Amino acid sequence: MAKQENPDDQEYKARSVALRLLARREHSRAELSLKLRQRKIENGVIERVLDDYEAEGWLDDDRFADVYARQRMDLGYGPLRIQAELQQRGVHRTPDCVDERDDNDWSEMAIRLRVKRFGGTNIHDDWEEKARQARFLTRRGFAADHIDAALDFVDPEDGLF
């Protein structure tokens, strides 16, 4: 005979799984909820456990958003991509670390990324190459102004040996 599950076992399982996941890295509430649902835990139990973890300070969407955004910025992603990825993870506010950067900061980041990936040569007359680099920066989540600044940049030392 199979053992009957009772609500206490589900709550214990939910708490242990959620805690184990949070010990590895920050998660948003929506991410944890999804992972617990995938383990066939009841919604009422999930909500109760996540409410408790939020009250304890172990689960915090603002902290998750800040950590996630900083990691993505370090990898060279722009504000549009970061915000879209956060929304996919259930966080619908922009973290302070993204808001603190102005357009000049994002343009400089796009320039550094372009120079690192393609070099800083003049591509003003090469429309095909310009479009290729613009597509790359667009996929990385930079706005049109940031991309224009990056494509207009010419490194005076590029090509000099």
pLDDT of 8: 59
Report yes or no: 11 and 48 within 8 Å, Cβ to Cβ.
yes
pLDDT of 155: 84
Tell me if 134 is assigned to some domain.
yes
Burial, 74: exposed, middle or buried (Cβ in 10 Å; 0-12, 13-18, 19+)? exposed
Same domain, 95 and 107: no
For the segment 133-161, the average pLDDT, to the nearest whole number, is 88
Same domain, 45 and 70: no
Residue closest to 68 by CA, chosen among 96, 47, 109: 96
- Here the CATH number for the domain that contains residue 21 is 1.10.10.10
Same domain, 55 and 13: yes
pLDDT of 156: 79
Same domain, 22 and 47: yes
What rounded mean pLDDT belongs to the chain? 92
Burial, 6: exposed, middle or buried (Cβ in 10 Å; 0-12, 13-18, 19+)? exposed
pLDDT of 157: 75
For the segment 122-128, the average pLDDT, to the nearest whole number, is 93
Tell me if 1 is assigned to some domain.
no
Same domain, 42 and 75: no
Q: Residue 122 belongs to what domain range?
A: 103-152
Number of alpha carbons in the 13 Å side-chain half-sphere of residue 137: 29
Same domain, 13 and 55: yes
**Model's pTM, two decimal places?**
0.85
pLDDT of 90: 95
Residue 53 above 90 pLDDT?
yes
Which residues have CB under 8 Å from 50's CB, separation 6+?
18, 29, 32, 33, 59
Number of domains in the chain: 3
Which residues have CB under 8 Å from 80's CB, separation 6+?
141, 142, 143
Same domain, 13 and 54: yes
- Tens of pLDDT along 85-113? 999 999 999 999 999 999 999 999 999 99
Tell me if 161 is assigned to some domain.
no
Same domain, 77 and 94: yes
For the segment 74-78, the average pLDDT, to the nearest whole number, is 96
Same domain, 54 and 71: no
Same domain, 52 and 92: no
